[in-house]
Structure 1
Amino acid sequence: MMLDVQALEGCKVLDVSTFLAGPFCATQLGEFGADVIKVELPKVGDANRRFGTMTECGDSLPWLSESRNKRCITLDLRKPEGAALLKRLVAQSDVMVENFQPGTLERWGLGYDVLSAVNPRLILVRISGYGQTGPYKDRPGFGRIGNAFGGLSFLAGYPDRAPVTPGSATIPDYMAGIYGALGTLLAMQAREKTGRGQVVDIGLYEPIFRILDELAPAFAFNGYVRQRMGPGTVNVVPHSHYPTQDGRWIAIACTNDKIFARLAEAMGRPELAGQDAWGTLAARERDRPKVDETVAAWTATLPRAELLKLCEAGQVPCGPVYSVDEIFEDPQYAARGNILRIEDPRVGPLAIPNLVPKLTETPGQVKWTGAPLGAHNDEIYGERLGLSKAEMERLREDGVI
């Protein structure tokens, strides 16, 4: 039974970050009930408004999708009056998210020492290229650099070619945003015990390095430097993408000997899983190219739909290698509601990724898509901070808001 509340209802968040990693952190909090105020530079706005496919309303599809549920205000933090207004908002907030280069807030007189003096319960999420400490802390960073420095790009592609983009250059931004949201929840839980806020400090490369399974312990243990393996996977085989008769691709994952035996049965060649053939992982690793070649030769004789049926019937983990148009046609995506269709007041019908995770009693929701620049200035400055219309007009003329 769903409750008429949201998990983070009552939590107030200031999002002063730009582009993607910090904003995505705040977006996730807003999806589950937090009241998120998005702070942008007057007349300029977040760069994400102009990134990707543009719409007739003047904002991009990434902005409309990833700035959902945020109330948008303009404020120049570099101006003394702007910094003063931010402090007033901080005094009423639980969390602030930023992703400037380290030292930027401090130069504006808005370091954590200042903000925590205003509000000792404030949690400050700081996402930057390399984190707030270390010899590289002052270097700029973007997602592509996070992929490269974190160790993922080196593993993407084929061994005889240059490293490729591992799916998307923005993976570190999204991963850092996820870890930022996790860090926020942990800090909120700690605050219940201590009564004090703290800093959540994340470098873009760190979530990438964290998810690379045994890459680090294997190197420390025996000096193994993993190389690019194309679509293959270290430690197990067959575990790759294979061509199909109809010009598509299927993913097959045999992570142990039992699963490979099931695949051999599905192929009509049970002898492949014999002890004198490829019945053990060690034997398959020894003959890795031949194993993949044999599986690929089989998959190439059948259409993908038939291969999926055969593998599923034999309990062999498999899946289609989807392009986005196929995702939109898939019944599993439809049943789970993974694609949210929403009416945007400025551009009309939109399809955007739905919320993750699903909560059975206090689910999140998308209340609105990314709002126009400064759309909520009057609401926040007038109603929340109590500024008069005359004061707001002067601040607009002075470029503060």
Structure 2
Amino acid sequence: MTQATQVNLGETQDRTALAGLRVLDIATFVAAPFCGTILADFGAEVIKIEQPVGGDALRKFGTITECGDSLVWLSEARNKKAVTMDLRKPEGVELFKRLVAQSDVVLENFRPGTLERWGIGFDALREINPGLIMLRISAYGQTGPKRGEPGFARIAHAFSGLSWLAGEADGPPVVPGSTSMADYVSGMWGAIGVLTALQARQATGKGQFIDLGLYESVFRLLDEIAPAYAKYGTVRARMGADTVNVVPHSHYQTGSGEWVALACTSDKMFERLADVMGNPDLAKEFPTSAIRVQHREHINALVAEWMRQRSLPEVVESTRAGGVPCAQIYSIKEIFEDEQYKARENLLHINDQRVGDLVVPAPLPRLSDTPPAFRHAGRALGADNTEVYSGLLGLSAEQLNAAKSAGVI
């Protein structure tokens, strides 16, 4: 039995922060669409626009469910309306422009120049809707010598410098956790950009576009590597689980076989750890971070040996009592069993009409007065064509059928 919050499909909050905001999501996979997911979680009307045949490739990415769509799609296309439209056809472009005229935001992540070739670049759309905000995410951004090159999150991790840092000191660069991290991080930066542009529009009445490269989203998170290289020529090497300026700050194996993460980010924290280990003189022998970094191997060995002599419960309880940050390194199994995840309602247990019971990550962040809400999982291809095209654009049944027969929708 999973420890997850029970949520009925279609349940909504009375107060939504972004009610009245209409977003057109013509992007694919994760990066820009994840921005749409965030906005939809807070009440924006996000209309997901896909190719009539096949739809977004994310539908087939990952574990495929009995409805034909993937678990990733069901989770990350949440709360969005699903319509089909072929933007490569003039009739599709015309329908899209009509939607743009009544919308606030467009999300896209095609290679730079693609939308311009279709006649729906930002300049063209701004003539239709001067207040339009467009998020443009691509591998390398809209400018520069690499602007036209393709790329996915793995390439962004490599180009940003993150992959260089991931792995053991004597081993090759490895995947830094999730292969899709750059996509998700770019979606978050994109959401910041959209919300900032919306705030600016309140003052100016004008829209703007947000230009974001996948690699930039990751590079911005890499603490001091840029100033350290510029000032001292330092090229940080791979350090495995260790951290460049702090010791002990790593992963250690307990005597019962589990792994834990330990974080001693200050001299005071190391003093607490020395007390917990029953060796307070360690804090006097190695009083500062700089000194401890010089004796990294020795200190790590002392901590590792202390861990090996104790079971996981003993390690966790003693560090907790001593005020030292320490936690078991979880797999998804431990996450589903953990009381903190349950108390924070981080796992939503929903019942989807297409696949039945499903557990997905809860929307974030939490707002006290206008919290995010889960309304439904990722929809079937074209599920909302009639609602959007008839309800919003006023197309008749005959016009809908004609557009479908022509492959426009």
Settle same-fold status: TM greater than 0.5: yes
Contact persistence 1:156–1:163 (CA under 8 A):
yes
Partner of 1:61: 71
Contact persistence 2:245–2:290 (CA under 8 A):
no
Please state if 1:249 is matched with 2:259.
yes
Runs of 5+ consecutive residues of structure 2 not aligned to the other structure: 1-11
Contact persistence 2:245–2:293 (CA under 8 A):
yes
Alpha-carbon distance between aligned partners in 2 of 1:46 and 1:335, rounded to the nearest angstrom: 35
Partner of 2:156: 146
Alpha-carbon distance between aligned partners in 2 of 1:96 and 1:323, rounded to the nearest angstrom: 37
Partner of 2:24: 14
Aligned-pair distance for 1:271?
A: 1.5
Alpha-carbon distance between aligned partners in 2 of 1:4 and 1:58, rounded to the nearest angstrom: 32
Alpha-carbon distance between aligned partners in 1 of 2:253 and 2:139, rounded to the nearest angstrom: 38
Partner residue of 1:206 out of 207, 213, 216 = 216
Please state if 1:336 is matched with 2:344.
yes
Alpha-carbon distance between aligned partners in 1 of 2:141 and 2:313, rounded to the nearest angstrom: 46
Change (3 A) 1:398 1:29: same
Runs of 5+ consecutive residues of structure 1 not aligned to the other structure: none
Deviation digits for residues 63-97 of structure 1, max 9, x if unmatched? 00000000000000000000000000000000000
CA RMSD of aligned residues (A): 1.0
Contact persistence 1:3–1:361 (CA under 8 A):
no
Contact persistence 2:247–2:293 (CA under 8 A):
yes
Alpha-carbon distance between aligned partners in 2 of 1:166 and 1:270, rounded to the nearest angstrom: 36
Alpha-carbon distance between aligned partners in 2 of 1:139 and 1:375, rounded to the nearest angstrom: 33
Partner of 2:331: 323
Partner residue of 1:393 out of 389, 396, 401 = 401
Contact persistence 2:28–2:58 (CA under 8 A):
yes
Partner of 1:35: 45
Please state if 1:359 is matched with 2:342.
no
Alignment of 1:1-400 (within 5 A): 4-274=14-284, 277-400=285-408
Look up the equivalent residue of 1:281 and give its one-letter code: S
Query: What's the TM-score once normalised by structure 1's chain length?
Result: 0.98
Alpha-carbon distance between aligned partners in 2 of 1:300 and 1:49, rounded to the nearest angstrom: 45
Query: What's the TM-score once normalised by structure 2's chain length?
Result: 0.96
Look up the equivalent residue of 1:340 and give its one-letter code: L
Alpha-carbon distance between aligned partners in 1 of 2:362 and 2:316, rounded to the nearest angstrom: 26
Partner of 2:8: none
- Secondary structure, counterpart of 1:369 in structure 2: coil
- Secondary structure, counterpart of 1:370 in structure 2: coil
Change (3 A) 1:386 1:3: closer
Deviation digits for residues 358-395 of structure 1, max 9, x if unmatched? 01101010100000000000111111101111111111
Deviation digits for residues 153-194 of structure 1, max 9, x if unmatched? 000001211100000111100000000000000000000000
Look up the equivalent residue of 1:13 and give its one-letter code: V
Aligned-pair distance for 1:301?
A: 1.2
Contact persistence 1:29–1:181 (CA under 8 A):
yes
Poorly superposed stretches of 4+, deviation over 4 Å: none
Aligned-pair distance for 1:282?
A: 2.2
Look up the equivalent residue of 1:227 and give its one-letter code: A
Aligned-pair distance for 1:306?
A: 1.4
- Secondary structure, counterpart of 2:334 in structure 1: helix
Contact persistence 1:125–1:201 (CA under 8 A):
yes
Look up the equivalent residue of 2:41 and give its one-letter code: E
Aligned-pair distance for 1:4?
A: 3.0
Look up the equivalent residue of 1:334 and give its one-letter code: K
Look up the equivalent residue of 1:258 and give its one-letter code: K
- Secondary structure, counterpart of 2:155 in structure 1: helix
Contact persistence 1:76–1:399 (CA under 8 A):
yes
Alpha-carbon distance between aligned partners in 1 of 2:363 and 2:26, rounded to the nearest angstrom: 22
Contact persistence 1:22–1:99 (CA under 8 A):
yes
Q: What percent identity do the matched residue pairs reach? A: 56
Alpha-carbon distance between aligned partners in 1 of 2:228 and 2:352, rounded to the nearest angstrom: 49
Aligned-pair distance for 1:3?
A: 8.3
Look up the equivalent residue of 2:346 and give its one-letter code: N
Alpha-carbon distance between aligned partners in 2 of 1:393 and 1:42, rounded to the nearest angstrom: 13
Alpha-carbon distance between aligned partners in 2 of 1:129 and 1:158, rounded to the nearest angstrom: 27
Aligned-pair distance for 1:283?
A: 2.0
Alpha-carbon distance between aligned partners in 1 of 2:362 and 2:190, rounded to the nearest angstrom: 19
Equivalent pairs, count = 398
Alpha-carbon distance between aligned partners in 1 of 2:116 and 2:156, rounded to the nearest angstrom: 24
Alpha-carbon distance between aligned partners in 2 of 1:358 and 1:369, rounded to the nearest angstrom: 19
- Which stretch shows the higher mean deviation, 32-41 or 308-317? 308-317
Change (3 A) 1:3 1:382: closer
